[in-house]
Chains A and B, each alone.
Chain A
Amino acid sequence: MAKTTLATEMLWRSLREQRLVLPTDFWSLLNKCFLSVLSDIQQTVESCPDTVPAPVSGRIVIQIEKMIVLFRQMKTSLNPAGSSSSDIVIPSDVRSLMAHYLGNDLQRMLWVADEGGSDSRAIILECAGDIKAFFIRLRAETGEPAS
């Protein structure tokens, strides 16, 4: 289960109270692209020693940068102005909280891949696990995706 922070609790409460349904574009990007890049990272890192070696971390940085681009596209899909699902209005506080929570995990993962360190493998896997757990809970809190 993802770590609990004030930001995520605010996000879950906001989603529950407003009974929000996230747009199809969002889930499509998540399922087809974002999660597969995340799985690639997990598989790559799982076979590494405690300190991820430099050539591997270089490849992981490229993967993380792909996730950052996808994450920005997912955020855009939550913005009615940039979404094809223009009838779904996601409040800015929800978008901001989501960005804050996931952005921190992406930031930590990117930093550790850049800098290495004796426990880089464990930290990257922890961040990847946190991100996956976040989306599992997001699906549970928002119900079925809009069609």
Chain B
Amino acid sequence: MKTVRKHYHDIGSKLHSSLFTAGAIKDALQSLVCREEDQALLLDLINNCKAVEDNLMDLERQISLAKLLTYRFLGPEASIDELSNSIIKENTAIKLLIVDDDESICNVLASSYERKGFVLAQAQDYCEALKKINEFRPDIAIIDLYLKNGKEGIDILRYVKDFLPGIKTIVMTYEDQEAELRCVHELSPDELLIKPVRSQALDAKINGLIKSIRN
């Protein structure tokens, strides 16, 4: 009994780590728990996730949440590693690089996608973007076409296509940049979005790319 308690305590503790973000758990639950009779339980779990986010959860509630999560995901006999791997595989394995010269845009996108369980990196110019592409090796790069310091987003796109074509690319731009848009089409990014972009539109493009990465 003590071992089981320790087991769930370990899971509960791990909920606080960067791998087990509340957003990641919530997304996974919403996709997995879909029967009508599970709705009350789902609400309770989501409230618990909020408590994880706010660092308010005490030990007993952590254990209780860990039990519920393990049962819901993998059944009563699952190990901590199985649960961990399951959530990480579903939500947090995707690495996202955001390239935009406007730091406030980078921050808004980054905090939103961190809440959704992605691993994030940001760059605000060409040199920083190349450094992050080579060191961080993102699965998906969201590239703004207009960047400061001369080099444009198109140069980053060209670099990715030439040297690391496995990285999926989403180019975002304003419709005014007609000449640049013609060059972008020639380089065939995986997705192209005209700003301002609704968050649902970007989510849909990212989810499409994730499916193609996993397939």
Q: Least Cβ distance of B125 to chain A in Å?
A: 10
Select one of B101, B148, B199 contacting A114, CB under 8 A.
Answer: B199
Chain B residues near A6 (CB-CB < 8 A): 101, 148
Please count the residue pairs between chain A and chain B whose beta carbons lie under 8 angstroms apart in the complex. 59
Interface SS of chain A: helix, strand, loop or mixed? helix
- B105 close to A107 (CB less than 8 A): yes
Q: Least Cβ distance of A70 to chain B in Å?
A: 13
Given contacts A103-B196, A114-B199, A96 and B109 within 8 Å (CB-CB) = no
Q: Least Cβ distance of B39 to chain A in Å?
A: 18
Measured in the bound complex, the distance between the Cα atoms of B40 and A147 in whole Å is 64
Interface string of B115-147 (1 = CB under 8 A from A): 100000000000000000000000000000010
- B196 close to A106 (CB less than 8 A): yes
Nearest-neighbor residue (CB-CB) of A79 within chain B: B176
How many A residues face the partner with a CB closer than 8 A? 25
A99 within 8 A of B: yes
B207 within 8 A of A: no
- B199 close to A115 (CB less than 8 A): yes
- B174 close to A123 (CB less than 8 A): no
Q: Which residues of B contact A (CB under 8 A)?
A: 101-102, 104-105, 108-109, 111-112, 115, 146, 148, 174, 176-177, 195-200
**A to B CB contacts below 8 Å, 13 in the list:** A3-B104, A6-B148, A7-B146, A96-B174, A96-B177, A99-B174, A103-B195, A104-B102, A106-B196, A107-B195, A111-B109, A112-B108, A115-B108
Q: With contacts A3-B104, A96-B176, A114-B199 known, what are 9 further pairs, Cβ within 8 A? A: A5-B101, A5-B102, A6-B148, A103-B195, A104-B102, A110-B198, A111-B199, A115-B112, A123-B108
Q: Closest 3 CB pairs between A and B? A: A114-B199, A107-B196, A104-B102
